[in-house]
Each structure stands twice: as structure tokens, then as C-alpha cells.
Amino acid sequence: MKLIIIKAYLFFIKTFKLFYLNEKIYKLSLHALGFNNEGNFNFTGEIIMSKLLSLDSSKNLFLDVGGNKGDYSSMILKNTNCNVILYEPQKIHEKKFNLISKRYPARFNYQSIGISDFKGDSKLAYQYEGSGQAKISSINLNNNYKYEKIKVDFIDNLFQKYEKIDGMKIDVEGHELSVINGANKLIAENQFKFIQIEFNTCQLENKNTLFDFISLLEDFIPYRILPSGIGLLKINPASEYDLNYIHQNVIFIRKNMIKDVEKSLKIF
């Protein structure tokens, strides 16, 4: 039966020359599954992180790694009681960070450093100042990039004694796995409940797969954020459809939090 339906569909597409329409339908269906999911936080569904953090009414800490202009930090500050620390080495955004500091003086802090799995000096590569695609690079990429020297540190070194860190968002253009490797100790100590990463073709540069993240975060369950507040879709590590490089926002939820999350959010 399945084969008959496929043949009929292909005959229909071929006969009426609807390959272009078929491609549009394909991309639209991918978006509904959480792929190619970009835009403001309500549209992408990323505001769901604030709902996760609000499951605990206490005032804990959230780390925004690769915060760029500070929009994600502002969303967390507005919708939760969390303290937020933003890490962004591009100094061009400091005026915006100062404005956030004035609005949330007791809850927001930022540090002008890059986060990875080492401590020392490195280079930040970008095509224009303030770029959301800036990345740490020890080598020259090509003539389209400019470079500036930055300081780099790792999470375990920065938070050896901090009492509790609820969550972390990582958006560092393909270096997300390095950030997690640099937080291994705190992750093992049950510090983080939620870790969000951006996964896309930038991961190919470092030959990272989504399965690498899943293997490293073995006490967590991975979910893809669905658009427009639909909810979360559980990722199947055995599925070739899930383990691809189409842009997606992925949240890893610690296993002991799943029951609480299921009571408050839609999970598919």
C-alpha cells in the first residue's frame, strides 16, 4: 500500500511538473517539525525556556553563552526570577548590555570573554562588527573575515563554587560542544537542569554530530523546540531524520525534571 501511494504521488508530481511546489511543501513541513526555525522568540518557540525555568520559583542562575546583543538574556530576565550572566566577546554590544544592567541592576551581569573548553587567548572571527555569526577561530578562515584578539575561559573554571545554575543557552556558531566539554564538572554535579543549543551546518566545520551531544549529555533527554509555542518534540537518536544539520533549536532536559515538564508543557 505504501509503495502504491508513493508511486501515485511521484506520477502526480511529474505529470503536472510540481517539483517546485513539492519543495515548498517539504520545507513547510520541516518548519512544523522545528527545522529552519528562526525569528523572534515567540515565533521560534524559544520563549519556552523561560517557562521551564519558571517551574522553580526560586531565584537561580542562567548562563547566556554567545549572547550577541542580549535579546535572549532580556527575554529570560523579563519572564523569570533568574539571575542572568551573559558572555559575549564583541565589545560593540556593551552599550546595549549597560542598558539591560540599568533595567535589571541586581539580576544581570555580562562578561566580555569567549567561552570554550580552555583558558587563554584566541581570535574572534567575524564578517562585520556585531555579527551574530562571530566565532572563535585559531586559524584564518578566508579573506571575508576580520579578526580581533579575545580572552577565553571555560565554565568549570568560572563556577567552581557557585551553589546552583539552572540553565544555559549556547549559541556560538558550531563550537557548542566545546562549551559543554568545558562545563563537564558542573554538569556531572547535577548543576544544570536545561541546556539549549543551536544546531546547524556550522557544526560541520568542527565535525560535530547531534549524536555527539546526546552521548555527552547522557543524563539528559533531547527535545527540538517547535515553532509558535506548539511545544517540544522528543528527538530520536536512532533516527536519521532527526540527526541532520538543518537549523534547529535543541533543549536538553535533565531526566529527573521530565515529569515536572510534562505537567506544564506539551511534549510530542
Give residue 209's identity as a one-letter amino acid code.
T
Distance of alpha carbon 245 from alpha carbon 200, whole angstroms: 5
Task: Report the chain (268 residues): mean pLDDT per 10 consecutive residues.
Answer: 82 80 90 93 96 87 96 97 96 95 97 96 89 79 83 93 85 95 93 95 90 95 96 93 92 96 93
What is the domain extent for residue 187? Answer: 40-264
14 Cβ contact list (under 8 Å, min separation 6): none
Predicted confidence at residue 98, as pLDDT, reads 96
Same domain, yes or no, for 27 and 94?
no
Same domain, yes or no, for 5 and 55?
no
Same domain, yes or no, for 3 and 97?
no
Same domain, yes or no, for 114 and 212?
yes
Same domain, yes or no, for 60 and 116?
yes
Strand partners, 115: 153
Give the predicted TM-score (pTM) of the model: 0.93
Task: Tell me how many domains the chain contains.
Answer: 2
Same domain, yes or no, for 184 and 221?
yes
Same domain, yes or no, for 125 and 156?
yes
Same domain, yes or no, for 114 and 131?
yes
- In terms of Cα–Cα distance, which of 210, 235, 237 is closest to 33? 235
Contact 228, 45 (CB under 8 A): yes
Same domain, yes or no, for 18 and 81?
no
Phi first, then psi: give them for residue 179, nearest 5 degrees: -60, -45
Predicted confidence at residue 11, as pLDDT, reads 80
Q: Going by DSSP bridges, is the β-strand pair 194-199/248-254 parallel, antiparallel, or unpaired?
A: antiparallel
CATH number where 198 lies: 3.40.50.150
Predicted confidence at residue 47, as pLDDT, reads 96
Same domain, yes or no, for 133 and 13?
no
Distance of alpha carbon 268 from alpha carbon 266, whole angstroms: 7
Same domain, yes or no, for 44 and 27?
no
Same domain, yes or no, for 72 and 198?
yes
DSSP class of residue 117? S
